Structure 1
């Protein structure tokens, strides 16, 4: 089974700055006809060259490319770049963020495991954990507060495999206290999996605080222009998958047998890359949520401007959140980047450069007022996405969180009067004026 190819070149040193790595990491132009930008390798398959090399590629004994369902040079460059930016040993790019979430949770919980997660997750993640994955014998234990270590520890049992959380929750912007959660997980031999979509690795690198697996919807801030769907799983390469809780990593399997037919286990063959290799060889290869080379190329383009985009979006989001706290008919603003929130210390620890471009706010009145605000904006587009260069507005209770049970939605503050903003790159004064006129006109 093909692995990522050394032909793309090694990652730049971690001592290089983030902006430098966002442009250069994981790509060797001398090995790609001196193309300055990563080429789009629109090929379904690759020449194996000779019988011996073909067998070695298929067994995963040497790096290279054989079939784009498993690995592709354009996608490989994106994977290497994202692994470098997050500080992981490897990554697998997928066709969507939910593919990344689902594959990561299934790979950890495979064969009857349980996942601990908070109730304030993105709606599709709640549906996956609470309703769909149980059909595959992977069950969830939901915590009301993922930062309440006593509550989380009380949910850990013999079948628990992982804790899953969002680094910044959507749309509340609540911050997960990663470091003590990782310490708790590791004390019990379970993994910490986090969704880092909202802040992107520019604002937070969860692996540095103990996270084992990081997932993203690369559709959002990483791409930044709303033209490509994608997801990624990044492996920190530090967790011991042989500790007895994860038999799938120590079981010998034909699919990764050596060239001479000797059966191997993922842990035995791939060591600290066992998780990410299993994602590629079993989940990507079998379920086939393949990232297209063209979408990978678009995401690589977005990555090149990530620091500049996110810096501007954070500044604008902070200004808008502050303005909304003084706006008539706005009764509550959710943005952990404001200095007066209960999570001020967590924001200072994990997010010295800001918590991201999304915020939410509740208004008085009823659903008719909410509808008139949505219909009244001229610059904010009514779009269920985040991280775009354009500013977006949506009502989560009806769009992004409709799958979440009502009691959980209400507990997380996702009521019918809540509006979520994803702040783009327009002039912040124009965005504030647009919200002011839409809110005033709704009443």
Structure 2
């Protein structure tokens, strides 16, 4: 039977605990698990049987979360890890090798731009940053050494919506996977796999958990990519020495990437999600659709008010009819454009700094996707490491404030913004 989203966000992956009958998924706070016998242990270590060995690899609480997120995204499997940044490395790890590159959107979270432009160089990887609205430029950037295309469905900080269908057509033509960060949209608003994504990554820290309590990440495998179609992805198509020559794609088919993420990625990188974090995120997901509907409703009302304010020079919310991305909402995010956007102050950088110091309901934090409304001046914080040119390309220029609209009373949020703007701009 095909269940609806609201049912799946509560039940997918979970069963009453067989030992106690506990209805909520227990926190299995255990590092290791007893084998039935020596043959059982050997089968687990040989990947001949699925089960629990050690919590760096697998944990029953985390396993429920993995299945739930994979189900909501329409994927075959998922691997949870310690943060969204960990998820990005986990996604690239089986695909890349020294000398290879990823073609990435210029409109990405500042930390991702730093990770891709600086940190991954230490692995011998590189990134080419392209405006993903320029489809010809995206196609031209792909070369024989490109191993992935990377973008955000709803880009942080500006809330820009990527034309995933057009981008996936380009990646498909090149025979390389499309990786989509769906953190800002969540599977309730956008399902990237339905638009051609091979892998979907999340910072579960944000909307999926929804309460600002724990960090986490997830990589969802669509199961749709043929890793053996070329020699570009030997980690998945060729014999793996650590498992006696096992070929992941040949052995596990549509779950090849998922099994590799656990058996190699978590085994060797060790970026494990702890079971308590998984528990908090599972509880958060139970109300995901309810929260996202309110985020969208509030964001549209607040953005509409800001757009009419004389102290504001621009608002980027794609839900506004004035947005150049408005036409993509119905196609990519049919239930709404999310709760994240930016606005620019005519008075510039110093006014932005005064503004974030003046808000009362909004919290000035480096996070998004909370039930609480959040604000940050990206140019002086999350995007501080970037050049001004990079900041502007990412939608985080010096005069830009990012807001993550929560689920409070929208009129109260507007009143708070109004008083803060008065203090900042006069």
User: Residues 228-266 of structure 1, C-alpha deviation per residue, up to 9 Å, x if partnerless?
Assistant: 110000000010111221122223123333xxxxx2122
Q: After the TM superposition, which residues 336-351 of structure 1 pair with which residues of structure 2 at under 5 Å, given as runs?
A: 336-351=318-333
The match for 2:182 is 196
- Say whether residues 1:318 and 2:300 are aligned partners: yes
Q: Are 2:382 and 1:372 aligned?
A: no
Offset of residue 30 of structure 1: 5.3
Is 1:102–1:128's contact at 8 Å kept on the other side of the alignment?
no
Query: For 1:398, which of 380, 389, 392 is the aligned residue?
Result: 380
Aligned to 1:172: 158
1:213 is displaced (CA, Å) by 0.1
3-state SS of 1:245 partner: coil
Match of 2:411 in 1: 429
> Does the CA-based 8 Å contact 1:119-1:412 persist in structure 2?
yes
- Measure the CA separation in 2 of the matches of 1:366 and 1:304: 41
User: How far off its partner does 1:43 sit?
Assistant: 0.5
* Aligned positions of 1:111-122 closer than 5 A: 111-122=98-109
Following superposition, the deviation at residue 366 of structure 1 comes to: 3.5
1:416 matched to 2:398? The reply is yes
Deviation, 1:165, is 0.3
For residue 364 of structure 2, the aligned residue among 370, 374, 382 is: 382
Quote the residue 1:260 is aligned against: none
User: What are the ranges of 5 or more consecutive residues in structure 1 without an aligned counterpart?
Assistant: 1-12, 258-262
**CA–CA distance in 1 between the matches of 2:395 and 2:192?**
25
Q: Secondary structure at the match of 2:94?
A: helix
Pairing of 1:203-214 with structure 2 (within 5 A): 203-214=189-200
Tell me, yes or no, if the aligned pair for 2:15 and 2:23 is still in contact at 8 Å.
no
Q: TM-score, normalised by structure 2?
A: 0.97
Of the structure 1 ranges 241-250 and 70-79, higher mean CA displacement relative to structure 2 is found in 241-250
RMSD of equivalent CA atoms: 1.3
Range moving further from structure 2, 385-394 or 365-374: 365-374
The aligned counterpart of 1:90 is 77
Q: Distance in 2 between matches of 1:411 and 1:78?
A: 35
User: Quick one: distance in 2 between partners of 1:365 and 1:52?
Assistant: 70
SS of the residue 1:55 aligns to: helix
Equivalent pair of 1:361/1:420 in contact (CA under 8 Å): yes
After TM superposition, give the deviation of residue 111 of structure 1 in Å. 4.2
TM-score, normalised to structure 1's length?
0.93
| C-alpha deviation, 1:79, in angstroms | 0.3
Question: 1:256, 1:266 within 8 Å by CA — same for their partners in 2?
Answer: no
Distance in 1 (alpha carbons) for counterparts of 2:118 and 2:162: 24
Residues 46-65 of structure 1 mapped to structure 2, 5 A cutoff = 46-65=33-52
Are residues 112 and 323 of structure 1, via their aligned partners in 2, closer, same or farther at CA, if it must alter by over 3 Å? same
Structure-1 separation of matches of 2:255 and 2:177 = 14
User: Aligned residue for 2:27?
Assistant: 40
Aligned to 1:25: 12
Contact 1:72–1:293 (Cα < 8 Å) also in 2: yes
Q: 1:142 aligns with which of 125, 129, 133?
A: 129
**TM-fit CA distance, 1:323:** 0.2
Taking the aligned partners of 1:401 and 1:55, their CA distance within structure 2 comes to 48
Point out 4+ residue stretches in structure 1 off by more than 4 angstroms.
Answer: none
Structure 2 CA distance for aligned equivalents of residues 264 and 303 of structure 1: 36
Q: Tell me the SS of whatever aligns to 1:361.
A: strand
1:230 aligns with 2:212: no
What per-residue deviation string (whole Å, max 9, x for no partner) do you get for residues 274-303 of structure 1?
A: 212211111111111110000000000000
Q: Does 1:284 align with 2:266?
A: yes
CA–CA separation in structure 2 for the residues paired with 1:364 and 1:344: 23
Mapped partners of 2:353, 2:173: distance in 1: 48
1:6 aligns with none
Cross-structure match for 2:205: 219
SS of the aligned residue for 1:354 comes to: coil
Give the alignment partner of residue 271 of structure 1, picking from 231, 253, 258: 253
Offset at residue 370 of structure 1 (A): 1.6
Quote the offset at 1:32 in angstroms: 5.2
Q: What CA distance in whole angstroms lies between the structure 1 residues aligned with 2:371 and 2:53?
A: 36
Match of 2:170 in 1: 184
On the 8 A contact 2:199/2:222 being kept in 1, the answer is yes
| Mapped partners of 2:258, 2:133: distance in 1 | 27
1:28 deviates by: 1.7
Q: Which digits, 9 at most, give the CA deviation of each residue in 1:308-357, with x for residues without a partner?
A: 01100110000000000111311111101112211222112111211111
CA distance in 1, matches of 2:334, 2:416: 29
Unmatched segments (≥5 aa) in structure 2: none
Q: Distance in 1 between matches of 2:352 and 2:236?
A: 50
